[in-house]
Structures are given as structure tokens and as C-alpha cells.
């Protein structure tokens, strides 16, 4: 069998938009992905549907897979002829042990590529408003591991060289060794008044910071129970933060949002929430399989109602595949939502909302296999199923880990159809919906969605004035201080 190839990819520091174009292309073509704890799991949604995911996450007190096992897996999967991606948080060459993995692949004569990523020691400070170099405050910069192979895990470094020769220092994953770091820098000549900042989950919407000096930061971190993953930045350049802070000024910064998802495509709402600083987890992940569509009688209907935006695209693609001219269809087109209307408009046809549809005339309803669940308002109709949609259960362990790292304070249901599968997914994961509801602002878009949510037991659910993205965002901003845990 022909050997496969391995791509050692830097995922960037957390914000999914910071992965490189080349890294994203590798994910899109992967057959196997071995991913770390600090690689944002949302990136896995770009992989092919049949891709195998293997979690290699590491915590200070335990390892899911040890490094030797990871090396062996990379070799084994490549020897199966697979296209393998090793997805690592930040940059694989900065404390990512990529040298060991590459050496193992080279030893076994397996082809590989290393794709750099943005390292957290630079990105996290920038998202906190701090450039790591500046002509007036810092012309030298060092990245340092705060754990090494020395006894006890305390780094054996040239402390004098760091204290006297480097303006700005970024220590990776060093909160546990913070007192040791501060003591050694002060003892070797760094002024105790030197500014220090801790940046946790840098570039995520859940990013947190804690400022102090070498003299007091360890005490502050202990009092605040500050934890990894964190960058410790030391240097006078931190004084620029007050002027240059930008990420933390976004209107939804700090919001940790659980968004109920109904489609397998990209969500414009999720993107907009993230662009405004929110930390968004979409649940559940869907997978869709197209089915054969019989278009023989499509021209006889007076009305065609498209149940979802995706069904419009699938319908028109089927027309093209079967060489049917849209002009042969006499029906007027309808959709239940503005999003579906837009999908039809994008195909060059006019459409109206389902509420405006006359009762007379023959009706065809087009949608995926869930189409009959929400059509109780229509008496006589035929159904055309364009695809089979189901929850992608292989993503549920991934969601479990994502939710375990987050502190959800907001839940959003964009439509009534999003509620039942969302609750089903949480139940399958043994996750208590009551806990999330108790600690979250529950927001529904529209009266039907609100009624469905309360019917499902979410009695504290609320809604914005209008069922639009703009109204939802305005509502979240107005309620930014409510039900949010510190």
C-alpha cells in the first residue's frame, strides 16, 4: 500500500479566524486528524464528513495520549495510506514538540509538511492590547517555557540573562510556577515594579486578564484562582495596554454563548456574534446526505414552500442536474423565514413569506427529512425530500470537552425547530439542561420559538422585540450585565 502523508499544522491561539489559509486547506482534505486541547475544536467542522478524529489533549495532571503514543499513531495512520493532520494549538514549532514528531516520521520514511501557526505568546498580548515589541518600551522579546525536564518542572534558565538582557518575556503555561518565576527575575536584577499581565484563553471571547507587578502578581493570581492555559507577559510594554486595548471593548466581549444549530452549513449569526466579541459554541453538529429527487410532476403545482434555506439550494441544483428549465415551473415560491426568502432571491426568483400564502391551489413542500414536523398549519400538500439530515454524534465528545472548558452564560434558540434536537443532544451527553438554564440568559427569536421553548420546560426564556439578528444583538448588549457569571 502506498504511504500517506502527514501535515503538522499550527491551529493558532484560539480564534478560529487566525488559522492560516494553508492550515485550513489541510484540514479540509484530511482523512485523520489528531488534535490537541488548545486547538479550537470548531476547526474540526471544516474536515470531510468521514474524517476520523483522535483527541490527544494534555492537562498538567494527566495525558490522554503520551507523546510516544502520538508519534506511533502518526506513523501507523500514514502507513495505512491516510492523509493525516496533526493539529496543534498555536505554532507547532513553539513548545509544540513538532521536532520529535517530525523526527519519528522521517525515521519511518513518511512524507510530511510543517505548516506554521500564530503563536499565543504574540497573539494573546495583542488581543489584550499589548504589542510585544515597541521602540520606546521593548526592543527585545523572548518566549520561554515555564515547564521543562528539570526536577520538579521548574525551568532551569539563564535568569540573569533574561532579567538584565530581555525587555519583554512571554512565559507559556506557567501559572503554577509563577512565584518561582517572579522570585528569580527579581533576584537577578529585574525591578520588582516591572509590570506583569496574565492572559488566560487568549483570543477567545472568554479571554481573561490579570495585571500586577513582579512583586504582587503571584499573590493576585492565587487570590483570583487564575489557571492555565495562560500566557505570562513581563515587561514595561504592558503600560501601552490602557491606550491600545481593543478586543475587550467589543460589545459582546465576555459573553459565552451556546447557540442551538439547525443546519450543517456556516451560521451567519454565529459569525456576527463572534465578530462582536462573543465566545460561541454551536450545538449540535449536523450531517446531511442528498437523496434522489423525482422532479417529474414539479411543474403541476401552484405553490412551492421551501422549508429551509438549504432545501432551496438542493432543489435548484436538482433542476440543473435534470436539465429542467425554471421557466417551466408555474408555481409561486414561499418560505417560512427571511433567511429562506433570501436563499431563493439569491437564485434569481422572487418569493414571499409562508404567512402570505393563499389557502387555495396545490402545494408542494420541499425540505429535508424533518419537513413534516413543523407543517401542522397546512392541510393538503405533497412533500419532496431533498436530503436526509441527522445529528453527527461523533462530535458529541468534542462538544463535551468544549462545554467543560467554557462557562456558558447565554443560550440562543434562533427558531422553534432548533429546540428539540438541542435538548436531545444535551441529554445524550448526560448534560444537565437545568444547570445551564439556571445560570444563563435564555433568548428566543420570535413568538413561536418562545412558545416552543416554554413548552419544552424553559420557562425563563425571553425574546427581543423582533425576530432579527439586529434585534437579538441589541438585546444581548442591553442585557450584558444580566445572568453573567464572573
152-180 burial: b if 16+ Cβ within 10 Å, else e: eebbebebeebbeebbbbbbbbbbbbbeb
| pTM score, whole prediction | 0.87
Q: What is the pLDDT of residues 296-313, one digit of tens each?
A: 889 899 999 998 888 999
**Secondary structure of residue 196 in the 3-state scheme:** strand
Report the CATH fold assignment for 5-117.
Cobalt-precorrin-4 Transmethylase; domain 1 (3.40.1010)
The mean predicted confidence, pLDDT, of the chain is: 91
Q: What was the pLDDT predicted at 486?
A: 36
Options 3.30.2390.10, 2.170.190.11, 3.40.50.620, 3.40.50.10090; CATH for 288-389 is 3.40.50.10090
Quote the CA–CA distance of 434 and 458 in Å, as a whole number: 9
H or E element, residue 163: helix 159-165
| CATH 3.30.950.10 applies to domain 122-249 | yes
pLDDT band at 129 (very low <50, low <70, confident <90, very high): very high
Q: What is the pLDDT of residues 65-102, one digit of tens each?
A: 889 999 999 999 999 999 999 999 999 999 999 999 99
Active-site entry in 22, 58, 220, 339: 58
Active-site entry in 42, 91, 173, 303: 173
Q: What is the pLDDT of residues 317-349, one digit of tens each?
A: 999 888 888 888 999 999 988 888 999 999 999
Cα distances (angstroms) measured from residue 290 to each of 249, 317, 334: 43, 11, 22
Strands 141-145 and 256-260: unpaired
Quote the CA–CA distance of 448 and 455 in Å, as a whole number: 10
pLDDT band at 482 (very low <50, low <70, confident <90, very high): low
CA-only gyration radius of the chain, Å: 26
Q: What is the pLDDT of residues 436-467, one digit of tens each?
A: 788 899 999 988 899 999 999 999 999 999 98
Classify residue 129 as left (phi > 0), alpha (psi -120 to 50) or beta: left
Q: Decide if pLDDT at 289 tops 90.
A: no
Q: Is the peptide bond before 229 cis (omega within 30 degrees of 0)?
A: yes
Q: Average pLDDT, stretch 148-177?
A: 86
Q: Decide if pLDDT at 54 tops 90.
A: yes
Query: Does the active-site annotation cover 36?
Result: yes
Q: What is the pLDDT of residues 369-401, one digit of tens each?
A: 887 676 666 667 888 999 888 899 889 889 888
Options 3.40.50.10090, 3.30.1180.20, 3.30.420.40, 3.30.160.40; CATH for 256-285+392-478 is 3.40.50.10090
The C-alpha cell that represents 19 in the structure block: 488559522
Q: What was the pLDDT predicted at 225?
A: 95
Q: Which of 21-25, 60-64, 95-99, 423-427 has the highest mean pLDDT?
A: 21-25
Quote the CA–CA distance of 445 and 459 in Å, as a whole number: 15
Domain with CATH 3.40.50.10090 in the chain: 256-285+392-478, 288-389
CB atoms within 10 A of CB 25: 15
Active-site entry in 15, 36, 368, 409: 36
Query: Does the active-site annotation cover 469?
Result: no
Q: What was the pLDDT predicted at 377?
A: 62
Query: Does the active-site annotation cover 459?
Result: no
Which one is predicted more confidently, 286 or 117?
117
Of 248, 244, 188, nearest to 214 by C-alpha is 188
Amino acid at each position: 500500500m502506498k504511504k500517506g502523508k502527514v501535515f503538522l499544522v499550527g491551529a493558532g491561539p484560539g480564534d478560529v479566524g487566525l488559522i492560516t489559509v494553508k492550515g485550513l486547506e489541510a484540514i479540509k482534505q484530511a482523512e485523520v486528524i489528531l488534535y490537541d486541547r488548545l486547538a479550537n475544536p470548531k476547526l474540526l467542522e471544516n474536515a470531510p464528513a468521514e474524517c476520523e478524529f483522535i483527541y490527544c489533549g494534555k492537562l498538567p495532571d494527566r495525558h490522554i495520549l503520551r507523546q510516544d503514543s502520538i508519534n506511533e499513531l502518526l506513523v501507523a495512520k500514514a502507513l495505512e495510506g491516510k492523509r493525516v493532520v496533526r493539529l496543534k494549538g498555536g505554532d507547532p514549532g513553539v513548545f509544540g514538540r513538532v521536532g520529535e514528531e517530525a523526527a519519528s516520521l522521517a525515521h519511518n520514511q513518511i512524507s510530511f509538511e510543517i505548516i506554521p501557526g500564530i503563536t499565543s505568546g504574540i497573539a494573546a498580548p495583542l488581543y489584550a492590547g499589548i504589542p510585544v515589541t515597541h521602540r520606546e518600551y521593548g526592543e527585545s522579546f523572548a518566549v520561554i517555557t515555564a515547564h521543562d525536564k528539570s526536577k520538579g518542572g521548574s525551568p532551569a534558565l539563564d535568569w540573569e540573562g533574561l532579567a538584565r538582557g530581555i525587555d519583554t518575556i512571554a512565559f507559556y503555561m506557567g501559572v503554577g510556577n509563577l512565584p518561582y518565576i517572579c522570585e528569580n527575575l527579581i533576584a537577578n536584577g529585574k525591578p520588582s515594579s516591572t509590570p506583569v499581565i496574565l492572559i488566560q484563553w487568549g483570543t477567545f471571547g472568554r479571554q481573561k486578564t490579570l495585571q500586577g507587578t513582579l512583586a504582587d502578581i503571584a499573590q493576585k493570581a492565587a487570590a483570583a484562582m487564575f489557571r492555565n492555559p495562560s500566557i505570562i507577559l513581563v515587561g514595561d510594554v504592558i503600560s501601552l495596554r490602557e491606550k491600545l486595548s481593543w478586543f475587550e471593548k467589543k460589545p459582546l466581549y465576555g459573553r459565552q454563548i451556546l447557540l442551538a444549530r439547525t443546519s450543517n452549513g456556516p451560521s451567519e449569526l454565529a459569525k456576527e456574534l463572534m465578530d462582536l466579541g462573543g465566545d460561541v459554541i454551536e450545538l449540535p453538529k449536523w450531517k446531511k446526505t442528498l437523496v434522489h429527487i423525482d422532479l417529474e410532476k414539479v411543474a403541476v403545482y401552484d405553490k412551492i414552500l421551501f422549508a429551509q434555506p438549504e432545501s432551496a439550494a438542493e432543489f435548484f441544483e436538482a433542476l440543473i442536474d435534470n436539465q429542467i428549465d425554471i421557466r417551466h415551473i408555474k408555481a409561486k415560491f414561499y418560505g417560512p423565514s427571511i433567511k429562506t426568502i433570501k436563499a431563493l432571491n439569491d437564485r434569481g426568483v422572487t418569493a414571499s413569506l409562508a404567512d402570505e400564502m393563499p389557502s387555495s391551489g396545490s402545494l408542494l413542500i420541499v425540505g429535508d427529512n424533518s419537513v413534516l414536523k413543523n407543517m401542522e398549519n397546512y392541510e393538503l400538500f405533497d412533500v419532496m425530500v431533498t436530503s436526509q439530515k441527522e445529528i453527527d454524534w461523533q462530535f458529541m465528545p468534542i462538544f463535551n470537552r468544549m462545554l467543560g472548558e467554557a462557562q456558558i452564560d447565554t443560550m440562543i434558540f434562533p427558531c422553534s425547530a432548533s429546540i428539540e434536537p438541542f435538548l436531545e443532544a444535551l441529554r445524550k451527553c448526560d448534560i444537565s439542561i437545568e444547570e445551564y438554564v439556571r445560570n444563563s440568559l435564555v433568548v428566543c427569536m420570535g413568538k413561536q420559538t418562545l412558545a416552543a421553548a416554554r413548552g419544552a420546560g424553559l420557562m425563563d426564556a425571553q425574546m427581543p422585540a423582533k425576530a432579527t439578528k439586529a434585534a437579538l444583538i441589541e438585546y444581548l448588549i442591553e442585557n450584558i450585565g444580566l445572568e453573567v457569571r464572573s
